[in-house]
Amino acid sequence: MNVVRICEEYEGTRGSLYYYVVEGNKLRHISRYAIGENKHGRIVYWSVPIKNVSGKPIIELGFSGSGYGHASEYRIEDFIASKDGFPKSENRKWRESLKKAMERLRNYEFEIFDLELKKLIKEFKTLYVQMIDDVKKYSEKLVFKLSFVGHASRVRSAFDDVSRCLFACLSNPKDKSRLMSLRNVCRWIYQLWVLRLICEAVEAKSIKREKWQEKPCWWIEQGTPIPTCILETPYGDITCWFEFQFHEMAHWASVFTRKREHVRPDIVIVKGSYKVAKEVGSIDLIVECKERDFKMWKNEIKQVRAYAENFRPKSFILASLKQIPQHYKHLIEKTGIKVVDSLYPTKRDKIQKFTEIVRYSIF
């Protein structure tokens, strides 16, 4: 039996390399054709019989350390005589950036088995696409730019091209990794959509532009003391933080306390104009966002309470995409935290309720 060795590098969508075999309009992972595997840390070598894949296109999906993606097309014969498990680059049919390659790959679907992942993909293509559209329209209305920095690169791709973002998240061979990757993107999309609701609630007229900025923007970066934006409203300036953090090293606090520290609430709102978080004396409003089913995050209620206790905002709102059981909602509200569940684009009554609570909390 003629067998070739194919090497993959597992690292999510950063510094990774995967191979998929084209079957009709399906992309099936190379492991489905292998008769053996050999793992060395994040490196996996697959032993694949040539006859199992002969005549079928093999798509290589690779990602740099910064998340930049590329795609190439090979045949199983290109791996013959390879000592390191990589194909001969001179034999590939084509190679393009993932952005450009989507013209070829857009109609392909990954082979998926996990029902929870299938459900999330369906939600992403409908509900989250609507949220993205709402945020983009709002940025056009107020004439500001969405500036994604650092770990927000995958979310940036969602706002650039929804199909490419989904394709990148699903390029992870394991359904568990795919689910985690897509959940992270959905979490940020929901937070940004809620931030847009807050901006509308306070009747923002424009976004202040800093001297170093070409145009006004939402600065979207996790864990930076720099605010996401400063709103100009009829009631004065209001400063907003997305993934708020007092200083860059705050998340290292657990190293010294030897226990989990809750240092990064989702959205922080403060009346006035502030350049950095350390200038803030008191917080007017914290909004914590939950986009998953309640059963998947109910153990995080302690985390929500910890934010309220540690940061002592004047008001605290828990915004949930999904419904929260009445019993738990009552327990949370008894602590002084206001709850708005089933908060999503077509739920006008919930949006109105959220808007009223935000206005009351700040003004």
What is the count of structural domains for the chain?
A: 2
pLDDT for residue 299: 93
Among 80, 110, 140, give the residue marking a domain's end. 110
Residue 56: how many CB atoms within 10 A of its CB?
13
Range of the domain at 67: 3-110
Contact 250, 263 (CB under 8 A): yes
> DSSP of 211-229, one letter per residue?
TT-SS-EEEE-TT-SS-SE
- Segment 249-264 shows an average pLDDT of 48
> DSSP of 96-133, one letter per residue?
EEHHHHHHHHTT-EE----HHHHHHHHHIIIIIHHHHH
Distance CA 261, CA 166 (A): 32
Question: At 179, which CATH number?
Answer: 3.40.91
Closest Cα to residue 350, out of 302, 317, 304?
317
Q: Say which amino acid occupies 132.
A: I
Q: 223 and 310: one domain?
A: yes
pTM of the model: 0.92
Among 61, 84, 110, give the residue marking a domain's end. 110
Q: 14 and 96: one domain?
A: yes
Mean per-residue pLDDT of the chain: 92
- In this model, does residue 362 exceed pLDDT 60? yes
Q: 148 and 19: one domain?
A: no
Contact 33, 119 (CB under 8 A): no
Percent of the chain exceeding pLDDT 70 equals 95
pLDDT tens digits for range 204-256: 999 998 877 788 999 999 888 899 999 999 999 999 999 898 655 444 344 34
Q: 243 and 358: one domain?
A: yes
Per-residue exposure over 294-328, b if at least 16 CB sit within 10 Å of its own CB, e if not: beebeeebeebbbbbeebebebbbbbbbbebeeee
Q: 225 and 350: one domain?
A: yes
pLDDT for residue 1: 58
pLDDT tens digits for range 107-117: 999 999 999 99
Cα angle value 160/201/302 (rounded, 5°):
80
**pLDDT band for position 83 (50/70/90)?**
confident
Task: Tell me which DSSP letter residue 12 carries.
Answer: T
Among 75, 110, 145, give the residue marking a domain's end. 110
Please list the alpha-helical segments (H only) found in the chain: 50-53, 98-105, 115-123, 129-142, 153-160, 162-170, 175-201, 253-257, 294-297, 301-311, 326-333, 348-362
Token couple for 58:
């093999």
Q: 90 and 156: one domain?
A: no
pLDDT for residue 262: 55
Q: 12 and 140: one domain?
A: no
pLDDT for residue 249: 47
Q: 136 and 184: one domain?
A: yes
pLDDT for residue 341: 98
pLDDT tens digits for range 305-334: 999 999 999 999 999 999 999 999 999 999
Q: 87 and 172: one domain?
A: no
Q: 266 and 169: one domain?
A: yes
- Segment 79-86 shows an average pLDDT of 88
- In this model, does residue 267 exceed pLDDT 70? yes
Q: 78 and 129: one domain?
A: no
- Segment 39-51 shows an average pLDDT of 95
Distance CA 242, CA 254 (A): 22
pLDDT tens digits for range 161-191: 999 999 999 999 999 999 999 999 999 999 9
- In this model, does residue 14 exceed pLDDT 90? no
Distance CA 2, CA 50 (A): 6
Q: 86 and 219: one domain?
A: no
Percent of the chain exceeding pLDDT 90 equals 83
